[in-house]
């Protein structure tokens, strides 16, 4: 058999699995989304809170606790868990959605600056934002797609970018049209004099 020669390893791997079902769930219930969320709420959220407290790391508004090393004395723990990854993904997406208000405000101010008009800036932003319920109508009611995830909420950034770009193109085209009309009028005046 194997004989220990006194050397020590610097790494080890352990796999901890949870047994299903929990005491008050039937075997068939485990795959349903509602039960999965219940398990996440009852077990994984508490596990995460306990682990973060044990390793003395915490989430901040700007930084995930998972960016830190999970170290205690001389042991560094690396772990991966799909449910914990789902919790962290939801947390990050929710924090990104918090930037929507700032983004909308920034686009509105820049639209007003670029067009030189508060009214055009307000109407342009209103049109951009109103595309969302219009698209949701087609997506959900006309095509019957009911799937929605928090990631869909981040589409506001794409919509703001495309919509603002359209306004910039139209306003620049409007400004340039004045020089085109003036040049056309000059050419016609010269032709009439001949």
Give the pLDDT score at 127: 92
Give the pLDDT score at 1: 57
What does the block give as tokens for 162?
């495309």
Q: Report whether 62 contacts 98 (CB < 8 A).
A: no
Q: Report whether 70 contacts 57 (CB < 8 A).
A: yes
Give the pLDDT score at 83: 82
Give the pLDDT score at 167: 93
Helix (H) or strand (E) holding 66: none
Within the chain, strands assigned E span 71-72, 75-76
Global pTM reads 0.56
From first to last of its 194 residues, what are the pLDDT tens digits of the chain? 567 777 777 777 777 766 555 666 665 665 677 777 777 777 888 888 998 999 999 988 778 888 888 888 878 888 788 888 888 888 887 777 777 888 899 999 999 999 999 999 999 999 999 998 888 899 889 999 888 877 787 788 899 999 999 999 999 998 888 777 766 666 666 666 66
Give the position of tokens 């506001």: 156
| Residue 119 main-chain phi, psi, to 5 deg | -60, -50
Calculate the alpha carbon distances from 188 to 32, 178, 181, 182, 185 in Å: 75, 15, 10, 10, 5
């Amino acid at each position: 058999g194997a004989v220990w020669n006194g050397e020590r390893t610097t790494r080890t791997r352990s796999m901890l699995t949870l047994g299903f079902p929990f005491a008050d769930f039937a075997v068939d219930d485990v795959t349903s989304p509602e039960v999965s969320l219940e398990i996440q709420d009852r077990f994984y959220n508490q596990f995460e809170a306990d682990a973060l407290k044990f390793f003395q790391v915490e989430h901040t508004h700007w930084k995930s606790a998972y960016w830190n090393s999970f170290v205690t004395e001389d042991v560094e723990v690396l772990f991966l868990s799909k449910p914990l990854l789902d919790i962290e993904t939801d947390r990050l997406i929710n924090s990104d959605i918090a930037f929507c208000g700032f983004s909308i405000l920034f686009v509105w101010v820049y639209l007003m600056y670029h067009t030189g008009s508060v009214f055009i800036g307000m109407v342009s932003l209103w049109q951009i934002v109103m595309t969302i319920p219009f698209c949701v109508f087609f997506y959900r009611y006309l095509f019957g797609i009911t799937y929605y995830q928090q990631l869909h909420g981040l589409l506001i950034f794409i919509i703001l970018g495309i919509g603002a770009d359209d306004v910039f193109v139209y306003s620049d085209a409007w400004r340039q049209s004045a020089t085109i009309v003036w040049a056309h009028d000059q050419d016609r005046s010269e032709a009439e004099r001949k």
